[in-house]
Amino acid sequence: MSLDRTDLDRIEVRGLRARGRHGALPAERELGQEFVVDVSLGLDTRPAAETDDLSRTVDYGTLAGRLVAAVEADPVDLIETLADRLAKICLEDPAVAEAEVTVHKPSAPVPHPFTDVAVKIRRSRP
């Protein structure tokens, strides 16, 4: 039995921290800064639950490592681009039907008091 998108289970990783050199300003590229990533994955977890088998779901520890490596890798100007990169990594797992990714940039160069700047995207398989 196949699930429709409204019936998907969720696996979430929140507050994943990594240092990157993303940003449009030269100082952001030179100094780098911390980025915080939240992901919410939509998938059917029943096969894993029925068999108690990690290979039938998402190994969130492995996924976290891949996401951190992507944040630390090749700099981009926009966190929109970074969020898209991270969503593609999430969707590489065949169990994942959709991924919602939020990239927080708490040290963004905003000349006013603020708590957070974030971009949230949702991507899914066709």
Residues β-bridged to residue 99: 41, 123
Residues 76, 105, 119, 126: which is the catalytic one?
A: 105
* Catalytic residue check, 105: yes
For residue 65, the SS3 value is helix
32 in Cβ contact with 17 (< 8 Å): no
d(CA 6, CA 2): 11
Mind telling me the catalytic residues?
105
